[in-house]
Structure 1
């Protein structure tokens, strides 16, 4: 008798988008073909306002990476309107709807990214020069919010390890420290003390070099909306969403484990690793189950997957650690 084993990437039928919606979205993604990299910096509003000019997608010619195009995940892609409306971006406000409302005038051009620290080739890049040597990839990833909501998003970006390899980390580099832009004139909440500013996140170097770690400039075939971290954010899909820092201006290689923003604010709730470990409860709620974003608050929950479904890819790098210390 043949027994089908479910992998960590399988999706329940209740999570699957309807065929009609999926086919329409697939048609949209397939229209993405052939435009210059410089247009990545076009404001999303301009693209949406003039779809005939850009064929309603301004990141085109991006090749889907077949390794990250799971057909079940493709069927379960979150609606773009849900993705863009539900955000944690405390620089723009603490409610989920605040970032979309308060980020409309956020300026993402020009944008400078500083790569520095324990590297042989430090440099300050304009974003277009930062991206230019690399091919963008379309990758479909699960994404997990700490508040027990999950989504599936087609991200467009560059593997972080390619950026780090260009900088040539020295043997003393053990961690990567990321910083968000600090500009209280654009980020109103930076005038408050709700967090220490600028927002800071970090990864161990082997986590940063893992192929899943993605520096992201777009989603759904378009540049990132301001509220989703434009123009450059990190995606680390086996960790909770707050590790995926938004609007990055600094990537620094360091020797010691950095203190991250949420770790400083509430170390018992948001420790450095913040991996998705279902059996380890958050101090204020269980992490064993989750709801699919867009399904409604009263929808049935589904089981949270170890490492958000990426255990086969990343569990080995934590083999010497107690999982309870990794959340």
Structure 2
């Protein structure tokens, strides 16, 4: 079943990728603190799904990253211009240790593991992606969350000279997103720095992005440069742009249709143009881990 989690799944069980990973890339990434151990040694975390991952080509060539354009292949075509080294993330608001943190310092000391997560886009397509990253909760614990904090706000880098989509209209840049604090602290919520045993490709949100697997993909903000703890619900780009279509919570819910299409099924990328439609699971199959976060809430209203 799509939402079933396993503890013993190995890299070799799901993909032959380990047989051709470039060791030079692994070593370079490891030096920056961004990559898992060498090929063939990666073990999945206990939250991984047992679904087979999509190929690296599919994952890196079919993306929504509107900073590079509106077409699915625009990120792969244009993201190469993005400078990702050096990189820092400003952490502020209701925290004990605010500051600008270099990427290597952010990653240092974090328990980086592999998470094979189902990914569900609000456009009703899906993938399975083998991320490498660490729990957001570990970083928040490290900077010290103050008692008044209720939400976590995120911001994507703004560089129109490198990101051609930011030169146009349609979205108020930079891209912003947010989570409730309890959502951010859930062990499923990670900051990803790699996929398929390599450092994160630029079109997938390099060098560091959020991954929240029970929510639609637009919540998993890419190329993060700012994290702010706040006592007020933060602005989010798509809710601000079209509130009748995109809510703050954005939990995968097959019972609540998008105004322009059904969410009851999804098209699995890689299954062919006319095949691969699958049933959509509540919370993308992660209900056992997250349903309690929304006890008593009307998820048709709080969409």
Q: For residues 123-181 of structure 1, what are the alpha-carbon distances to aligned partners after superposition, in whole Å with 9 as ceiling and x for unaligned?
A: 21111111112121111110001111111111000100000001111111000000000
**1:8 aligns to what?**
3
Q: For residues 12-64 of structure 1, what are the alpha-carbon distances to aligned partners after superposition, in whole Å with 9 as ceiling and x for unaligned?
A: xxxxxxxx9945235458x89887743356xxxxxxxxxxxxxxxx6425853
Q: For residues 95-122 of structure 1, what are the alpha-carbon distances to aligned partners after superposition, in whole Å with 9 as ceiling and x for unaligned?
A: 1011110111211000011111001111
Whether the 8 Å contact between 2:133 and 2:194 is mirrored in structure 1 is yes
**1:139 aligns to what?**
115
| Distance change >3 Å, CA 66–CA 217, structure 1 → 2 | closer
Aligned mate of 2:17, from 22, 25, 35:
25
Count how many residue pairs are aligned between Structure 1 and Structure 2: 293
**2:37 aligns to what?**
60
Correspondence 1:281 to 2:248: no
Q: Which has the larger radius of gyration?
A: 1
Correspondence 1:302 to 2:278: yes
**1:154 aligns to what?**
130
| Distance change >3 Å, CA 180–CA 319, structure 1 → 2 | same
Q: Please, what TM-score do these two structures have when normalized by structure 1?
A: 0.84
- Structure 1 gap ranges (5+): 1-5, 11-19, 42-57
**1:48 aligns to what?**
none
Q: Distance in 1 between matches of 2:28 and 2:76?
A: 27
Correspondence 1:117 to 2:109: no
**1:202 aligns to what?**
178
Q: Please, what TM-score do these two structures have when normalized by structure 2?
A: 0.90
Secondary structure of the residue aligned to 2:139 is helix
Aligned mate of 2:31, from 35, 38, 55:
38
Q: Distance in 2 between matches of 1:145 and 1:36?
A: 28
Higher alpha-carbon deviation: 204-213 or 126-135: 126-135
Q: Distance in 1 between matches of 2:301 and 2:31?
A: 43
**1:97 aligns to what?**
73
Give the superposition deviation at 1:253.
Answer: 0.1
Runs of at least 4 residues of structure 1 off by over 4 A? 20-23, 26-29, 31-36
Correspondence 1:172 to 2:148: yes
Q: Distance in 1 between matches of 2:53 and 2:129?
A: 6
Aligned mate of 2:223, from 226, 242, 247:
247
**2:82 aligns to what?**
106
Considering only aligned residues, what root-mean-square deviation do their CA atoms show, in Å? 2.2
Whether the 8 Å contact between 2:155 and 2:177 is mirrored in structure 1 is yes
Whether the 8 Å contact between 2:44 and 2:115 is mirrored in structure 1 is yes
Higher alpha-carbon deviation: 290-299 or 239-248: 290-299
Higher alpha-carbon deviation: 59-68 or 186-195: 59-68
Q: For residues 47-88 of structure 1, what are the alpha-carbon distances to aligned partners after superposition, in whole Å with 9 as ceiling and x for unaligned?
A: xxxxxxxxxxx6425853441344x32xx1101100000010
**1:45 aligns to what?**
none
- Structure 2 gap ranges (5+): 6-11
More helix by share: 1
Q: For residues 253-291 of structure 1, what are the alpha-carbon distances to aligned partners after superposition, in whole Å with 9 as ceiling and x for unaligned?
A: 011001200111111111100000101000000000011
Whether the 8 Å contact between 2:33 and 2:107 is mirrored in structure 1 is no
**1:212 aligns to what?**
188
Q: Distance in 1 between matches of 2:27 and 2:165?
A: 39
| Distance change >3 Å, CA 36–CA 146, structure 1 → 2 | closer
Q: Distance in 2 between matches of 1:36 and 1:119?
A: 29
